[in-house]
């Protein structure tokens, strides 16, 4: 399975004004620096949680449609950047190596589990089509991200931005930073996608 970012986020969980307020900065002199810190902190939070925080488009590719050997389970393609808002397309290489787009009526998005991954499953009474043996023969493109980013994640980003703003060197001698306090990362723990 491979995962590729198609369209990056164009907004971030906190605004420049929000970050300035948290950093206690009254001027616009450091706006470029603070904007870069917002981007870095947002990406750190996404990396830690495995989530897409604001709207972005991803594509997951697998070698073939999954097969279920148990009658009680449905063969699913996992969409690993939660929360998933919608599926844009499901495309596959057919047995003749021709790219086909699966009709949306042939699959269902299962995004009911907010604490794990979403899945694309075949619609009731539908089976996945046969595919080519080419690598990454199936591609699912989807939109992920919160409509409203949870406040604990936003607070973690504020703390990360203000800490990086205050301590701009890679090593701080004889001084603990806020990031060394255990409660800070606990803000993200509830939103982390744990892999089994």
Instruction: Give me the pLDDT at residue 1, please.
Output: 83
55-77 b/e (C-beta count within 10 Å ≥ 16 → b):
bbbbbbbbebbbeeeeeeebbbb
Q: Edge-to-edge strands of the sheet including 138-144? A: 2-7, 56-62, 138-144, 84-93, 99-101
Name the β-bridge partners of 91. 101, 139
Tell me the C-alpha distance between 51 and 174, whole Å: 34
Do 31 and 74 meet the contact criterion of CB atoms below 8 Å apart?
Answer: no
CA distances from 24 to 13, 55, 158, 181, 184 (A): 19, 28, 11, 20, 19
**Residue entry with tokens 């990362």:** 185
Task: Supply 99's token pair.
Answer: 């790219």
- Predicted confidence at residue 190, as pLDDT, reads 87
Q: Shortest CA distance to 52 belongs to which of 62, 42, 61, 66?
A: 42
pLDDT along the chain (196 residues), means of 10: 92 96 93 96 93 96 86 81 94 96 96 77 92 95 95 95 84 52 79 75
What are 31-56's pLDDT values in tens digits?
999 999 999 999 999 999 999 999 99
Q: Cα separation of 132 and 101, whole Å?
A: 14
Q: What is the mean pLDDT of the chain?
A: 88
CATH superfamily of 2-52+148-189: Phage gp6-like head-tail connector protein (1.10.3230.30)
Parse the chain into domains and list their residue ranges: 2-52+148-189, 56-144
Whether a cis peptide bond, with omega within 30° of 0, leads into 5 is no
Residue 88 has a pLDDT of 97
């Amino acid at each position: 399975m491979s995962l590729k970012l198609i369209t990056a986020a164009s907004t971030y969980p906190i605004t420049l004004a929000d970050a300035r307020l948290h950093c206690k900065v009254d001027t616009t002199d450091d706006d470029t620096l603070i904007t870069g810190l917002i981007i870095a902190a947002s990406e750190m939070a996404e990396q830690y949680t495995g989530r897409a925080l604001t709207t972005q488009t991803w594509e997951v590719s697998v070698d073939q449609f999954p097969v279920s050997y148990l009658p009680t389970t449905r063969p699913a393609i996992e969409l690993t950047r939660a929360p998933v808002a919608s599926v844009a397309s499901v495309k596959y290489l057919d047995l003749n190596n021709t790219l086909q787009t699966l009709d949306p009526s042939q699959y269902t998005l299962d995004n009911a589990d907010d604490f794990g991954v979403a899945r694309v499953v075949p619609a009731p009474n539908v089976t996945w089509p046969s595919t080519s043996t080419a690598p990454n023969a199936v591609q699912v493109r989807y939109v992920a991200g919160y409509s409203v980013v949870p406040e604990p994640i936003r607070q973690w980003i504020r703390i990360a931005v203000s800490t990086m703003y205050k301590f701009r060197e890679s090593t701080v001698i004889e001084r603990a930073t806020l990031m060394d306090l255990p409660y800070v990362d606990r803000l993200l723990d509830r939103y982390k996608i744990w892999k089994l």
